[in-house]
Structure 1
């Protein structure tokens, strides 16, 4: 998976904004982790969970990726069930395939 597959048409504006921000982080690995997490979960998250997701998303990508992949210890304020759910995502890093003519 290399991008958004969930239609955001049926989502409320807040969920659409969060979904977009999850897929447009700045570091491709974080796009894939947060984007795939959001696609799977965004429609079912309650307001409290959305608040927590937005708090997690406010962290720097370079820090998040280190905490998620275990290169640095997770800070106490992120030792939450939501962060654990995000960290459990194992994104599909499949390369984009090209058409036989190279396009």
Structure 2
């Protein structure tokens, strides 16, 4: 059975908010709220792949991109870099807006 685009978005949205690590719930959940519906099918595939990574690694990969670039050894898989960059930029924008 083929998943509808609407069902896929709902499933990815829920997975973004229920990660297991509160920091990643907040980073990915807000990204999903604001940006998920605007991603292309290929970007959604990449995002879904990212959701399969563990939270401790994701947290280092995303936060390492905020402010000072990517620290040595914390960049994450090369394949995920485009979506990691978008998530980090979104998180940085939210942080600046909250200040």
* TM category, shorter: 0.7 to 0.9
- CA apart distance, 1:68: 1.6
Whole-angstrom distance in 1 between the partners of 2:22 and 2:79: 21
Whole-angstrom distance in 2 between the partners of 1:76 and 1:87: 15
User: TM-score, normalization: structure 2?
Assistant: 0.72
SS in 1 for 2:74: coil
Whole-angstrom distance in 2 between the partners of 1:41 and 1:62: 22
Look at both structures and tell me which one has the larger radius of gyration over its CA atoms. 1
Aligned length: 83
Moved segments of 4+, more than 3 Å: none
- CA apart distance, 1:76: 4.0
SS in 1 for 2:42: helix
Whole-angstrom distance in 1 between the partners of 2:38 and 2:86: 14
Q: Which residue of 2 aligns with 1:24?
A: 18
Structure 1: state its 5+ residue gaps. 1-10, 95-103
Whole-angstrom distance in 1 between the partners of 2:9 and 2:44: 8
User: TM-score, normalization: structure 1?
Assistant: 0.70
Q: Could you say what the CA RMSD is over the residues aligned between the two structures, in angstroms? A: 2.1
* Larger helix proportion of the pair: 2
- Is 1:38 paired with 2:39? no
Q: Which residue of 1 aligns with 2:68?
A: none
Structure 2: state its 5+ residue gaps. 65-70
